[in-house]
Amino acid sequence: MILAIFLSVGIRFSYSQGKVINQVVAVIGSKMIMLSDIEDQYAQYVLQGYKKNDTTFKCALLEDLMFQKLLLNQADLDSVTVTDAQVESDLDTRIAYFSKQLGGEEALIKYHNGKSLIEIKAMYRDVVKNMLVQKNMEEKITENIKVTPSEVKKYYSTIPKDSIPTISSELEVGQIVKLPKTSDAEKAKAKEKLEGIRARILKGEDFATLAVLYSEDAATSTKGGEIGLTARGVLDPTFEAAAFKLKVGEVSPVIQSAYGYHIIQGVERRGDMVNVRHILIMTKVAPEDMLKAKQFLDTVYSKLKADSITFEKAAAKYSDDASKINGGIMVNVATGSSKFQPDELSSATFFIVDKMKVGDFSQPVPMKTDEGKQGYRILYLKSRSEPHLANIKDDYDYIQTLALKDKQNDAVKAWIKKKAAVTFIHIADEYKGCKFNYEWFQ
């Protein structure tokens, strides 16, 4: 799809050091494309190895921008919008991602010549808003596009033999998880520690400093416990309910979430978004309870090895993980399927299953959930495919996705032709020699 090269990597956080003598390169309805729009994006690709003065590539950049502007122009006509909360949430996510890529917020600020985070967000807010509107508009064009099994087969038959994609090795992995319960004594210990920290804050000590010293949330502790502006529906429900009740500067009582115990301080409230600091103390599992979990799974392992129960039934009966409803088979959240490429599995999981044969079970091994809970699990290697050329029998879902994208491309192509015919479009003379992929001029 025409937008894929840009939307797949998201907004490019760049800060131009030079200045381009600006001029209007194209007009699409009520939207304009400036020379600087093309040059700024081209400069980013030059840094990645593209040749300078590549006119063909600049034409491709112009066509992509024309499509973006056509989407925005039509969105205005169709009243397709996004909320401020959606923009802020997406912006915060991108800021966090690029901060991590560059080595932290200080590095991001340095990259932008000392601009504050507020100034950096202001620079990109309109860009992010436009991207979200474009995404919504494009989804509106393709929302009813589906492919039938016969269309999938027909699409596969049209792929030249030397262009059939290669499928990397894929694995299907199952797990039976046992998470020992935290004792009342351990819960009381965590709450008591937090109550002591809260008392110090109420007496005047700085919340952020104590978060750095004591919080067990590695993602936020170095930032004084601050999570950044976050929309509703993103945080743990109990945590979120408490966070949205706080006034700026107010400190919550001790609350419990899926991650452990917290105290929270209000930082900022903006519509349906909130920013808070928190200090997390995770509840620990006593060594004897961990041993009981391992011994329990040792018994399950023995049953599996003796073929007295199938893995699927054992997972459904004994596992503490949500995958039990799927026979213990893990789901790849990126694709929605049960198949993982090796680099899509956690290193802890791949290190074990890589040495297993199909059908093997591991002995109980230590694990930690995304929420930080400790336990044991038995891993099961259900299948492992070898790298191969895609085929309908083994890779139907993958080929179906390709066929759907191809059909969506055709829909976008038809939409561009239709809208271009009724939209004012003008491009500068120096770009009239471009060979475009879509019909902009009838």
Q: How far apart are CA 246 and CA 269, in angstroms?
A: 9
The β-bridge partners of 280 are: 262
Residue pair 229/274 in contact by the 8 Å Cβ criterion: yes
**Longest Cα separation, the chain:** 78
* pLDDT value, residue 372: 79
The H or E element spanning position 257 is: strand 255-257
Predicted confidence (pLDDT) at residue 287 exceeds the cutoff of 70 = yes
3-state secondary structure of 441: coil
Q: How far apart are CA 71 and CA 62, in angstroms?
A: 14
Distances (CA, A) of 187 to 88, 190, 215, 266, 284: 36, 5, 16, 25, 8
Q: How far apart are CA 442 and CA 437, in angstroms?
A: 13
The H or E element spanning position 267 is: strand 260-270
Distances (CA, A) of 27 to 14, 70, 81, 289: 24, 10, 21, 68
The per-residue pLDDT for range 148-188, each reduced to its tens digit, is 999 999 999 999 999 999 988 999 999 999 999 888 888 99
Predicted confidence (pLDDT) at residue 285 exceeds the cutoff of 90 = no
DSSP-assigned letters across all residues of 314-383: HHHHH--SGGGGGTTB---TTTSSS-B-GGGS-HHHHHHHTTPPTT-BPPPEEEE-TT--EEEEEEEEEE
Q: pLDDT class for 399, splitting at 50, 70, 90?
A: very high
Q: How far apart are CA 367 and CA 72, in angstroms?
A: 47
Distances (CA, A) of 1 to 149, 371, 438: 22, 37, 11
* pLDDT value, residue 21: 59
Q: How far apart are CA 263 and CA 256, in angstroms?
A: 9
Structure tokens at 336: 């929605």
Please report the domains of the chain, with CATH numbers, ordered by start residue: 4-147+404-431 (1.10.4030.10), 167-181+286-389 (3.10.50.40), 184-281 (3.10.50.40)
Q: How far apart are CA 314 and CA 328, in angstroms?
A: 8
What is the identity of the amino acid at 190?
Answer: A
Residue pair 94/10 in contact by the 8 Å Cβ criterion: yes
* pLDDT value, residue 283: 87
* Contacts with 432 (C-beta within 8 Å, 6 or more apart), sequence order: none
Structure tokens at 428: 């500068």
The per-residue pLDDT for range 366-387, each reduced to its tens digit, is 998 877 788 999 999 999 998 9
Q: To the nearest whole number, what is the mean pLDDT of the chain?
A: 89
* pLDDT value, residue 22: 74
